[in-house]
Chain A
Amino acid sequence: QKEVEQDPGPLSVPEGAIVSLNCTYSNSAFQYFMWYRQYSRKGPELLMYTYSSGNKEDGRFTAQVDKSSKYISLFIRDSQPSDSATYLCAMETGANSKLTFGKGITLSVRP
């Protein structure tokens, strides 16, 4: 079993849809949770960074962490074609330590 599992894709939605992206993990030592966005042939760009259970909102993006269920989610409201990219969940046991990533899911938002 992999330490981090991410829902497989690809995912295609119409513009304006609400998107839900999910990851589960098995390592209870993970304390910090991130979502990165990666455009084709580019490096990952940090979208959200959280370290406690609950919700964190930033504009159209909401990150949700449930440590008891070992489950994290990223919600995108009013999705835009510019949101089309690969989304990676990542976790670490301590600040600035090794990041463990999910496989990534490719999202396509149709105009």
Chain B
Amino acid sequence: DAGVTQSPTHLIKTRGQQVTLRCSPKSGHDTVSWYQQALGQGPQFIFQYYEEEERQRGNFPDRFSGHQFPNYSSELNVNALLLGDSALYLCATGGGGGIQYFGAGTRLSVL
């Protein structure tokens, strides 16, 4: 049983560019959440998708957007990248059991 998979593992972008990160959920999971983890901090909630709709959103600007596909996989898009967007981006998926599992993350560096 594959766990939560994220791609790519590492990205380097320059200010102003756009980036797309991808997440495949654990088998049987239909809820996908995205988190941003800055160095030395706990993860911060960006948003959550369920049934292809954004169900909850954290305190992040509209530059952060997402999508969930019919197979429950998800994408996180960030436009107009800023230096402060450099972080580890984590995907967490959950199912009927209520427990959320995390992927290994995508490390984004903005230069």
Closest residue on chain A to residue B58 by CB atoms: A98
Binding site secondary structure of chain B: strand
In B1-55, which residues have CB < 8 Å from any A CB?
Answer: 4, 6, 31, 33, 35, 40-45, 48, 50
Contact present for A36 and B102 (CB under 8 Å): yes
B92 CB-CB contact with A under 8 Å: yes
Contact present for B92 and A99 (CB under 8 Å): yes
A102–B44 alpha-carbon span in the complex (Å): 10
Question: Nearest-CB distance from B51 to chain A (Å)?
Answer: 12
Chain A contact-residue range equals: 20 to 34
A43 CB-CB contact with B under 8 Å: yes
How many B residues, CB 8 Å from partner? 30
Q: Which residues in A have their C-beta under 8 angstroms from that of B95?
A: 96
Q: Which residues in A have their C-beta under 8 angstroms from that of B56?
A: 97-98
A6–B42 alpha-carbon span in the complex (Å): 10
Closest residue on chain B to residue A94 by CB atoms: B98
Q: Which residues in B have their C-beta under 8 angstroms from that of A45?
A: 102
Contact present for A32 and B102 (CB under 8 Å): no
B-side residues, CB < 8 A to A, are: 4, 6, 31, 33, 35, 40-45, 48, 50, 56, 58, 88, 90, 92, 94-95, 97-105, 107
3 closest cross-chain pairs (CB), A and B? A95-B98, A101-B42, A43-B102
A-side residues, CB < 8 A to B, are: 4, 6, 32, 36, 41-46, 49, 88, 90, 95-104
